[in-house]
Amino acid sequence: MFETIRNAWKVVDLRKKLIYTFVLLLIFRLGSCIPVPLLDPAQMKALFTGTENSMFGFLDLMSGGAFQNATIFAMSITPYINSSIIMQLLCVAIPALERLQKEGEEGRKKIGQMMRYGTVVLALIQAIGLYFLLKSFGAVSNPGFMSAVVIVSTFTAGTAFLMWLGEQITEKGVGNGISLIIFAGIVSSLPGMAKTLVEYVSIGSLGWIGALLIVVLMLVVIGVVVAMNEAERRIPVQYAKRMVGRKMYGGQSTHIPIKVSGAGVIPIIFAMSIMSFPGTIASFFGVQAGDSGFWGGFLKVFSPDSWIYACFYFLLILFFTYFYTAIQFNPIEMSNNMKKNGGFIPGIRPGRSTSDYISKVLSRVTLAGAVFLGVIAVLPIFMNLGLKISNLAIGGTSILIVVSVALETVKDLESQMLMRHYKGFLE
């Protein structure tokens, strides 16, 4: 990776893109230190007592601590992610959007515009809900209509500005703008995690051997994430030869790549949203885990630090991995496209048999990817139950995001360098 960045720095165009990207990411980090008016950061931090593995903890991690510190980028880029996921689902469910998606560049621009409007709407809704949550916790200095307008507008504008920064990095920088913003937010928590680990060792809660084992475990998780992120099942495809006029077409061999972790972190985000929904709604009414009554006991059983929560969390990740994969892949359409172009899988008859074979392979690969995502997601929960180190920010999900973005960015840089050094057939 460092070799790729060093080689890219030697190319003038890529060096300008790298500098441009770095400046915009620096603006993102500076904005994460600007507080929102009329909010008490001390009360804001009270929301994070025992929520390191909940949705609030995940939002704070993605925003690089901006959520916990009540800054203008507190909501990070999550409304944009939710809007893009919703748009992907709508493109499958609504035929008109599906046709628009297949119209090429013009259609993608229209869908992108809808996605931006959806981001602003979702950010506004999330900001309103966050305001009432902060108000119930006493984090708003002077509750009232004008305070609500200022706080909601600031949160919404911060998310819209981050969306613009991400698009600028994608167009004029090295690409993957939204992913790089998330990457920067997570990486910025590394110094805090190292400080927390040293504090645990200094006060005697964790020995040096335990700290070393945690570091080794993180390195092992990184290696597993890299291996699973690059792993894929290749279904061989053979195209029959055919004569068109005096020319022979076809006859080549290729394959259909099916990635093991093709769903990425989307199933984890879906599962985390559902698991955190009861606690979020209950907090609006002032109910907390351990309170008397049904809902207090319910929240205690399903708190992020219980094994019951971890089991349901794991099962939801399995379900959403299959659900998202079923939306992304259509074996019947893939089979029909191969049949139209004279392609077939060796040993499998075209048509129904081909689609059934692709479905079976896809189901097995998805199971491996779903189990991998589930283990990665619940790993911090069981570490908290066994070692009582809930304040360590970097978990399996964070490592998965960081490694995936890093690998994708390096591949983009390599492809851009290859394009600039390719001399063609003239020399």
Could you write out the DSSP letters of every residue in 160-210? HHHHHHHHHHHHHSSS-HHHHHHHHHHHTTHHHHHHHHHHHHHTTSS-HHH
Any domain includes 38: yes
Is pLDDT larger for residue 14 or for residue 306? Answer: 14
What pLDDT band is residue 74 in, cutting at 50, 70 and 90?
Answer: confident
Is pLDDT larger for residue 93 or for residue 236? Answer: 236
Domain hosting 134: range is 1-188
Q: What is the CATH number of the domain that holds 110?
A: 1.10.3370.10
What pLDDT band is residue 10 in, cutting at 50, 70 and 90?
Answer: confident
What pLDDT band is residue 98 in, cutting at 50, 70 and 90?
Answer: confident
Of 313, 327, 178, 325, which is closest to residue 263 (Cα–Cα)? 325
Q: Would the pLDDT of 422 be above 60? A: no
Any domain includes 173: yes
Q: Which of 199-208, 223-232, 285-294 has the highest mean pLDDT?
A: 223-232
Any domain includes 56: yes
Give the pLDDT mean for 329-350. 84
Q: Which of 200-209, 307-316, 363-372 has the highest mean pLDDT?
A: 363-372
Question: Which token pair is 196?
Answer: 């927390």
**Quick count: other Cβ atoms within 10 Å of Cβ 58?**
23
Q: Which residue carries 């259509």 as its tokens?
A: 330
What pLDDT band is residue 425 in, cutting at 50, 70 and 90?
Answer: very low
The residues, any chain, with a CB within 8 Å of residue 105's CB and separated by 6 or more, are none
| Distance (Å, whole) CA 341 – CA 319 | 34
Secondary structure of 301-368 as H, E, C letters? HCCCCCHHHHHHHHHHHHHHHHHHHHHHCCHHHHHHHHHHCCEECCCCCCCHHHHHHHHHHHHHHHHH
Q: Would the pLDDT of 50 be above 60? A: no
Cα angle 379-385-389, degrees, rounded to a multiple of 5 = 85
Any domain includes 204: no
Quick: pLDDT tens for 356-398: 999 999 999 999 999 998 888 887 777 776 655 554 545 667 7
Any domain includes 374: no
Provide the mean pLDDT of the chain.
80
Any domain includes 282: no
| Distance (Å, whole) CA 100 – CA 172 | 26
CB burial readout 396-414, b (16+ within 10 A) else e? bbbbbbbbbbbebbbeebe
Number of domains the chain contains: 1
Q: What is the DSSP letter of 66?
A: T
| Distance (Å, whole) CA 201 – CA 170 | 42
Global pTM value: 0.79
User: Do the Cβ atoms of 276 and 55 come closer than 8 Å?
Assistant: yes
Any domain includes 237: no
Query: Any bridge partners for residue 243, and if so which?
Result: 248
Query: Which amino acid belongs to residue 335?
Result: S
Any domain includes 245: no
User: Do the Cβ atoms of 186 and 60 come closer than 8 Å?
Assistant: no
Is pLDDT larger for residue 146 or for residue 385? Answer: 146
